[in-house]
Amino acid sequence: MPKEAVRRKLGTGVLNRGDRLFFGITSAASYFAFILVALILVFLIAQAFPALKDQGLAFVYGSTWEVTPEKAVMQIGPMLYGSVLIALLGVLLATPMAIATAYLIVFILPKSPAKLATNLIDLLAALPSVIIGLWGVLVFTPIAQGWADFLHKNLGWIPLFATDKGTTSLNSSPFIAGWIVAVMIVPIITSVTREIFSQFDRELINGALALGATRWTVFRRVILPTASGGITGGVLLGLGRAIGETVAIYYVLQLSMKINFFQILEPRGGAIASWILSRFGEATEAEFHGLMAAGLVIFITTLVINLIANIIVNRAQPWRK
Amino acid sequence: MEKVVADPRPAKQPWNKSSKLASFTGGRGFADATLITLAFLLAAVVFGLLLSVLWSVVSAGAGAMSPQFLYQNNRYISTTTSLDYGGVGHAILGTLWLVLLATMVALPLGLAIAVYLTQSQSKLRNLVRSITQALAGLPSVVSGLFVLSIISFLGAQKSGIFGALALFPLMLPTVARVAEEALRLVPADLRLAALGLGAPNYRAFFQVILPAAKSGIITALLLGLARVVGETAPLILTIQANNGTNLNPFDGGVATLPTYIYGFISAGYASSITRAWGASLVLLILVGILFITARLLTADKKKKKAKK
Amino acid sequence: MTISPVAAELRSEDVSVWFGERQVLKDVNLTFRANRVTALIGPSGCGKSTFLRTLNRMHELIPSAGLAGSILLDGKDIYDPSVNPVDVRMEIGMVFQKPNPFPTMSIRDNVLSGLKLSGLRVDNKDELLETSLKRASIWNEVKDRLGEPATALSGGQQQRLCIARSLAMNPKVLLMDEPCSALDPGSTRRIEATIEELSESMTIVIVTHNMQQAQRVSHETAFFLADENTPGGVVEFGSTEQVFGQPIDERTNDYVNGHFG
C-alpha cells in the first residue's frame, strides 16, 4: 500500500537556551535596521509636519524663502532643482572617468599597479567631505574657474555656457559644485563597475584580441552592453550620494533662491542639503520645521534612489548572494 | 553572465611587454589607440584630483604642524591668533571619543546583523540586507536632522552623546556589510564541523567562526570608523562647539576635528585657514591609518587563503 | 538521552528527503547494526551523502531541506520534537570529506574542542586527549607537538586529527563522508585500519566512491541509485560479500563491476 510521505518539520526540536538567545539577539538587531529607518521617517515627518501643513505643496516647487518673526514663507524649489542639476552634472562627469578607471584596472594594468589604483580610489572614497570642501574652495575653484572662463569665452553662445550680464568671475557655480560632487562619487561608480568588469574572463578577452578583434569592438560590443545594467546601478548610487552631499557643496557654491536652470557657469545655484546647513544656525522655530521638511525631502529622494540602485546592482552581481 | 567558449590558445600565454606596448601605440588601429589614450586620460584626471587633494592637505597642513598644535586646545585662541598658540588636541580627543561611543553601539549591532545574514535561515534575510544597503545611502545631514529632531522631541540640550548618536546610523551599515563579507569568507566546513560535534550555534560562532574571521571583523570596525571619523554635517547639527577639552558626553559642547575645520574655514582669515588645513592633515592621517591598517589586514587574510 | 558506553543500532524508516520541492531520496529503509561498518555506495548524485547527513540531523542545516520518515537510534526517534539536535550530534559523530580542523586552534585544542563546544566537562582532559589520538592512530606523530596549530599537519594527519576530534566525544555512531577522497594511498590505508579498530566500540557508516575501500572496510553495503529525474533510493542492501560477490539486482552488478558510475 503506497502511503503518502508526510514531511516533518525540521530545524525544530528543543533549542538550547543559548541558541534561542543567540538567534533572538541577532534577529532583534536585524529588525532594528527596519525600526531605525522607520524612526528616522517618523521623527522627520513629525518635525516637518507643521511646515508642510503651512506651506502646502508650494514648499517643493516655490522659490521664496522669507522668514521673519511674524511669518514664514518657505519654499525649496530652486534648492531641490539645484541639487538635481549638480548631481546630474556630477554623474555626467564622474561616469566616464569611473568607467575608464575601472577598465584600466581590470583589463589593461598589470596586477600590482591595478591593485594600487584600486586602493587609491577606495582612499578617495574615504576622504571626509569637509576636506574635499576645503580643497574645493581654496585649491580647485581657481583652477576650475580657468576652465569655466575658457568654456564661456569659446562656447558662450551655447545657452549652457552663457552667463547673466555683468557676471565677471565664474566661481561658486553649479559647474564647480558638479566637479566636487564628481570627485566624491567617482569611487562609488568605479567600484561597482570594477566588480562587474572583473567577472569577464580576462584571458578570454585577450584571446579575442589575439584573434584580431580590436579593443574598441570588444569594449563596445561585449563589455559595455553586458555591464551597462550594473553601471547604471552604480551611477544611481552615486546620484543618491550627490543629492545628500552637504558640506563640500556648501563651500563651493553660491546658494541662491533665484533659480538657475541651466547656466552652469553662473555663480548661483542650489543644493538642498547645503541650504539646510546655511540656514540652520539662526533658524526660528518655524524655520526649524521648514528645514526638517527639507531634510525629509532629501531622505525620501535618496531612499528611493538607493533602493532602486541596490536592486539593479544586486541583480547585476548575482555572484554576491 | 555567460562564459563564452574556451580560449583557443595554449593555457596562460604570458602577456609580454612588447605586445602590450604594441596595443598602446596603435598597432591595432586608430580606434584602439584612442580608447586606451582616452581611458588613461580620464583616469589621469581622477588620480590628478586625488593627488591634488592629498598634496594640498599635506603641504598646507604642514604649515600649521607643531607639537603644540597636536596637544593644546583652542581656549583663548581667536581666529587671528598666531599659530604659535593653540591646537587641535581637544578636537582629536573629542573626535576619538564620539567615534568610540558610536562604535560601542554600531559594532555589536552591525556584527549581530552580519551574523543574522550569514547564520540564520530566516526568509527575511534578503529584506534585512536590502534595508541595510539602503541605510548605507543615508545622507549624513539627514542623520543629523534625525537626531536633532530627537533632541527637540526630548527637549534636551545638545551634547556629545547626540553627536555620537548621529554618527551611529552612518557607521552601522558599513560595519554590517564588511563583517558579513568577513563571515562569509570563513569556510562553511568549519561551522559544519563544529555543529557536527554537538555545538549549539552560539558556541560554534563564538569559538570557531568568530576567531577565524577575527581580522575581517577588525577590518569592519576600522572601515566603520573611517566612514564616520570625518563626518561633519551631523555633528554641526547635534553638538555645540567647544574651544576647550570636554569629554562629558552628557553636558556641554565637544570639539571634533571636522567641526573644528568647518569653523575655521568659515572664519576666513589666513591663520584660521592654516589651522583648518592643519586639522585636515591630522584628520587625513587618522583616516589614512584606519584605511591602511584595514587594507593590510585584508591583504594578509587573502594571502593566507591563497597559500592554502 | 544518556550516554551509554556501547555502540548503538541506527535505523532509518521510510526516509524521504527534499531540497525545496525536489525530492532527492525516497523511502530509504536501512538498519546499521551495532559494531558493524556499513558502506554506502553509488554513483554521484544518488543521494548517499545527503542520506548520511540525515542520520545526525546535519541535513536540516540547509535552509530548503525537507524530510519524512524516522531515524531511530536504539529505537528512539532522533527527529522527535522533544529531542535537541545538539544531543543527537554528540552521540552520532561525523567526519567530513575534506579534513577541516579548526585553524585557530592547536592540535590539542582541536581534539578537545568538542567538549568546549558542547559545554561538557571532563576530569582528565590529558587522558582523553591521549586516548582519542591513539584511537585515531595519530598519537605517535603528534605527541611532541600538541601545542602546534592543526594546520601545520599534512592532509592525512589532519583527517585523522578530525577523527580523533570526533572520538573525543565518545560517540555511539560515527558517520564518515568519503573520508579518504582527498588523501594519498598511504593515509587512506591508515584510516582504513583505524576504522576497523573503531568498529569494536562503535557503529560506523561510511560513504565511499571507492569499491575496493568498501570491500576492505565494511561488513555491510547499501547500493544507492537515482534514475534520471527520479528521487534516489536503495537498490540493494546486504552483506558486503553478497553485494559485491552475488548481487541480486542487475544494476548493482553493473555498478560494482564498473559498468557505469
Residues A61, A103 within the same domain: no
Alpha carbons B22 and B33: distance in angstroms, whole number: 10
Residues A97, A43 within the same domain: no
The total domain count for chain A is 2
Model confidence band, residue B32 (pLDDT cutoffs 50, 70, 90): confident
pLDDT at A12 over 90: no
Task: Please give the span between the terminal C-alpha atoms of chain C, in angstroms, as a whole number.
Answer: 40
Residues A60, A85 within the same domain: no
* Higher-pLDDT residue of B66, B305: B66
Contact indicator for A283, B118 with CB cutoff of 8 Å: no
| Residues of chain A neighbouring B202 (CB-CB closer than 8 A) | 16, 18-19, 21-22
**Mean pLDDT, residues B84-100:** 94
pLDDT at B11 over 60: no
* Higher-pLDDT residue of A212, C211: C211
Burial B124-143 (b: 16+ CB within 10 A, else e): ebeebbbbbbbbbbbbbbbb
* Higher-pLDDT residue of B287, C257: B287
Query: Which of A11-20, A195-204, B187-196 has the weakest average pLDDT?
Result: A11-20
3-state helix, strand, coil in chain C (%, to 5): 35, 25, 40
| Per-residue pLDDT tens digits for B144-169 | 999 999 999 999 999 999 999 999 99
Q: Where are the domains of chain C?
A: 10-102+175-256
Q: How many helices (H) and strands (E) does chain C have?
A: 10, 10
Model confidence band, residue A204 (pLDDT cutoffs 50, 70, 90): confident
Question: Nearest 5°: phi and psi at A73?
Answer: -110, 115
Q: What is the ipTM of this complex?
A: 0.93
Model confidence band, residue B123 (pLDDT cutoffs 50, 70, 90): confident
Tell me which residue has cell 535552509: C63
**Mean pLDDT, residues B210-229:** 94
Model confidence band, residue A14 (pLDDT cutoffs 50, 70, 90): low
pLDDT at A16 over 80: no
DSSP letter string, A129-154: HHHHHHHIIIIIHHHHHHHHHHHHHH
Residues A308, A175 within the same domain: yes
Give chain B's radius of gyration (CA, Å).
25
Alpha carbons A144 and C204: distance in angstroms, whole number: 76
Domain that holds residue A147: 77-320
Contact indicator for A258, B102 with CB cutoff of 8 Å: no
Question: B126 is written with which cell numbers?
Answer: 534578503
CATH of the domain at A166: 1.10.3720.10
Give the pLDDT of residue B28.
57
Which residues, including other chains, have CB under 8 Å from residue C172's CB and lie 6 or more apart? C3, C4, C6, C7, C8, C73, C74, C91, C92, C202, C203
Alpha carbons B68 and B62: distance in angstroms, whole number: 13
Residues A151, A278 within the same domain: yes
Residues A243, A298 within the same domain: yes
Residues A84, A165 within the same domain: yes
pLDDT at B16 over 80: no
* Higher-pLDDT residue of B201, A321: B201
| Per-residue pLDDT tens digits for C157-174 | 999 999 999 999 999 999
Given an 8 Å threshold on Cβ–Cβ distance, is B198 in contact with C89? yes
Given an 8 Å threshold on Cβ–Cβ distance, is B194 in contact with C102? yes
Query: Which of A194-208, A274-288, B106-120, C190-204 has the weakest average pLDDT?
Result: A194-208
Given an 8 Å threshold on Cβ–Cβ distance, is B196 in contact with C58? yes
| Per-residue pLDDT tens digits for B239-275 | 998 888 898 899 989 999 999 999 999 888 888 999 9
Residue A8 lies in a domain: no
Q: How many CB pairs under 8 A join A and C?
A: 39
Residue A290 lies in a domain: yes
Q: Exposed (0-12), middle (13-18) or buried (19+): which is B70, by Cβ within 10 Å?
A: middle
Model confidence band, residue B301 (pLDDT cutoffs 50, 70, 90): low
Residues A210, A277 within the same domain: yes
Residues A62, A88 within the same domain: no
Residues A208, A291 within the same domain: yes
Residues A43, A170 within the same domain: no
Question: B261 is written with which cell numbers?
Answer: 575645520
Question: B147 is written with which cell numbers?
Answer: 537626531
Give the pLDDT of residue B22.
45
| Mean pLDDT computed over every residue of chain A | 91
Residues A99, A191 within the same domain: yes
| Per-residue pLDDT tens digits for C69-84 | 999 999 999 998 888 8
Give the pLDDT of residue B210.
95
* Higher-pLDDT residue of A83, A1: A83
Q: Exposed (0-12), middle (13-18) or buried (19+): which is C238, by Cβ within 10 Å?
A: middle
| Residues of chain B neighbouring A33 (CB-CB closer than 8 A) | 113, 128, 131-132, 135, 172, 176
- Is the CB of residue A10 less than 8 Å away from at least one CB of chain C? yes
Residue A72 lies in a domain: no
The CA-atom distances, in angstroms, between B181 and each of A233, B205, B219, B230 are: 20, 15, 10, 24
Which residues, including other chains, have CB under 8 Å from residue A240's CB and lie 6 or more apart? A302, A305, A306, A309, B137, B139
Query: For a pLDDT cut of 70, what percent of chain A falls above it?
Result: 96
List all chains that touch chain C, counting a touch as 3 or more CB pairs closer than 8 Å. Answer: A, B
Question: A95 is written with which cell numbers?
Answer: 561616469
Model confidence band, residue B15 (pLDDT cutoffs 50, 70, 90): very low
Give the pLDDT of residue B286.
96
Beta strands in chain B (DSSP E): none
Given an 8 Å threshold on Cβ–Cβ distance, is A44 in contact with B142? yes
| CATH code assigned to C10-102+175-256 | 3.40.50.300
Question: B24 is written with which cell numbers?
Answer: 598602446
Identify the bridge partners of residue A73 per DSSP, sorted by sequence position: A66
